[in-house]
Amino acid sequence: MDITPTNQVLAVITTDRDRVGGSAPIFYVDSFSELEKVAVYLSRVFMAAVHDLGHGVYIIVKH
């Protein structure tokens, strides 16, 4: 059986260290372009969707 977690935050990508915390893997990046790039890479790895929470915080969620 293949078990994949769905509707869970698989990763958080952010430009702002102060805004995030918690148990999901967090990726800190320096710029918006890097944010987008890392988000694409991670979404392809997880085969999941990228959501924008605003203020430079992206999350990867599998649906």
Q: Please say whether the beta carbons of 14 and 56 come within 8 A.
A: yes
The mark string for 19-58 relative to another protein (x by CB under 8 A, - otherwise) is: -----------------x--xx--xx-xxxxxxx-x---x
In degrees, rounded to 5, the angle at the alpha carbon of residue 9 between the alpha carbons of residues 59 and 33 is 20
Assigned token pair, 18: 């102060």
- Residue closer to another protein by CB (options 16, 52) is 52
Instruction: Give the C-alpha separation, 56 to 35, whole Å.
Output: 8
> Nearest distance from residue 1's CB to another protein, in Å?
12
Residues that bind another protein (CB under 8 A): 36, 39-40, 43-44, 46-52, 54, 58-59, 62-63
